[in-house]
């Protein structure tokens, strides 16, 4: 009986000496919502905002970016790498077997037979079986750390996806805005060109002075400069969007114009702080610190 009690007490003592405490998320008292707010946070957080972007061309660009973007491919490869690391860490729980086989030839040196010694083969093998009992929790903590790193990389992949989708959508909407501004600038340039023609005709007839005609010419030049500016910004934005897509620069096809776009509803005030737990960067930091 005493031996049984001794073994039990020894086991309890060893378990109490395990490496590090178990991680538990701190319990912080926060209000479910702000005062004077009737908004349900779950209803907003669960909205399929991606599907609310109903422009077919934009949806196609997002799908291409998710398939071809290099940063996302790197993040996905990192997840696969840490999955392999978790598998390797779990192998520490299993017995470790090492073997060594040798077949030396007696009576030979440097591949040549030595006179007076028979040339005989000698076979032998050595095996070593080790199994570490995780008394102090080293292997268990190592597995927890590897799994936490894997979860952190998975959240990093989610963060890359969110940044990629928002970047593609933002660049596409900027293109639509430049389209509208460029159209207005071109129509303005056309109006100033007509005004310049009228001013020159009035100048030839002596109705107006050269100063008036020069002022119209200056305004026409300013309008032409704005057209060139919007065209340059449009090309730069298309280059930026091409980088998101992982392709060489090309002209981005457009779908609906900006005024016909259906945007998600605005996020109302009064959402609970638990929505922060949905942010991949915050969850990633938690797994890295755990």
The two structure tokens encoding residue 34 = 């702000």
- Give the C-alpha separation, 257 to 37, whole Å: 35
**158 vs 13, residue with greater confidence:** 158
**23 vs 130, residue with greater confidence:** 130
- Give the C-alpha separation, 279 to 159, whole Å: 8
Cα angle 277, 283, 287 (rounded to 5 degrees) comes to 140
Q: What is the mean pLDDT of residues 228-246?
A: 90
Residue 50 has a pLDDT of 60
- The winner for highest mean pLDDT among 52-56, 120-124, 197-201, 232-236 is 232-236
- The winner for highest mean pLDDT among 28-37, 93-102, 188-197 is 188-197
The model's pTM? 0.64
Torsional class of 137: left (φ above 0), alpha (ψ -120 to 50), beta (otherwise): left
Q: Answer whether residue 19 shows pLDDT above 80.
A: no
Domain boundaries, the chain: 43-94+138-289, 96-130
pLDDT bin (cut points 50, 70, 90) of residue 203 is: confident
Q: Which residues of 150-180 are buried (b: 16+ CB within 10 A; e: fewer)?
A: bbbbbbbbbbbbeebbebbbebbbbbbebee
Domain 43-94+138-289: assigned CATH number: 1.20.1600.10
Among residues 183, 188, 150, 201, the alpha carbon closest in space to that of 257 is found at: 183
Residue 44 has a pLDDT of 46
Residue 180 has a pLDDT of 92
Q: What is the mean pLDDT of residues 109-115?
A: 51
- The mean-pLDDT minimum among 37-46, 176-185, 201-210, 214-223 falls in 37-46
- The mean-pLDDT minimum among 20-34, 69-83, 132-146, 233-247 falls in 20-34
Q: Answer whether residue 46 shows pLDDT above 90.
A: no
Q: What is the mean pLDDT of residues 207-221?
A: 84
Beta bridge partners of 106: 120
**244 vs 87, residue with greater confidence:** 244
pLDDT bin (cut points 50, 70, 90) of residue 37 is: very low
**207 vs 105, residue with greater confidence:** 207
Residue 184 has a pLDDT of 92
**277 vs 99, residue with greater confidence:** 99
Residue 11 has a pLDDT of 52
- Give the C-alpha separation, 93 to 158, whole Å: 31
**215 vs 112, residue with greater confidence:** 215
Residue 38 has a pLDDT of 47
* Alpha-carbon torsion angle 269, 271, 277, 278, nearest 10: -70
Q: Answer whether residue 186 shows pLDDT above 90.
A: yes
Q: What is the mean pLDDT of residues 37-43?
A: 46
Average pLDDT, the chain: 74
Q: Answer whether residue 227 shows pLDDT above 90.
A: yes
Query: Are the C-beta atoms of 143 and 90 separated by less than 8 Å?
Result: yes
Query: Are the C-beta atoms of 136 and 19 separated by less than 8 Å?
Result: yes
């Amino acid at each position: 009986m005493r031996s049984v009690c001794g073994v039990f007490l020894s086991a309890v003592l060893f378990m109490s000496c395990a490496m590090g405490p178990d991680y538990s998320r701190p319990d912080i008292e926060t209000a479910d919502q702000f005062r004077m707010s009737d908004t349900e946070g779950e209803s907003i957080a669960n909205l399929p905002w991606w599907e609310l972007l109903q422009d077919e061309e934009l949806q196609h660009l997002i799908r291409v970016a998710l398939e071809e973007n290099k940063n996302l491919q790197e993040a996905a490869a990192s997840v696969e790498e840490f999955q392999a690391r978790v598998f390797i860490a779990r192998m520490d729980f299993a017995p470790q077997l090492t073997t060594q086989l040798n077949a030396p030839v007696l009576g030979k040196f440097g591949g040549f037979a030595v006179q007076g010694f028979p040339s005989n083969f000698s076979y032998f093998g050595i095996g070593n079986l080790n199994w570490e009992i995780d008394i102090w929790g080293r292997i268990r903590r190592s597995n927890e750390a590897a799994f936490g790193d894997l979860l952190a990389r998975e959240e990093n992949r989610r963060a890359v996806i969110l940044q990629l989708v928002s970047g593609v959508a933002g660049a596409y909407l900027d293109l639509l805005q430049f389209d509208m501004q460029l159209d207005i600038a071109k129509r303005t340039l056309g109006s100033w060109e007509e005004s310049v023609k009228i001013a020159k005709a009035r100048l030839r007839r002596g109705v107006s002075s050269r100063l008036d005609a020069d002022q119209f010419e200056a305004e026409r030049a300013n309008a032409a400069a704005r057209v060139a500016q919007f065209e340059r910004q449009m090309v730069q934005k298309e280059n930026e969007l091409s980088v998101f897509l992982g392709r060489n620069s090309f002209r981005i096809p457009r779908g609906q114009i900006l005024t016909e776009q259906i945007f998600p509803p605005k996020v109302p005030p009064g959402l609970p702080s638990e929505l922060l737990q949905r942010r991949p960067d915050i969850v990633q930091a938690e797994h890295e610190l755990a």
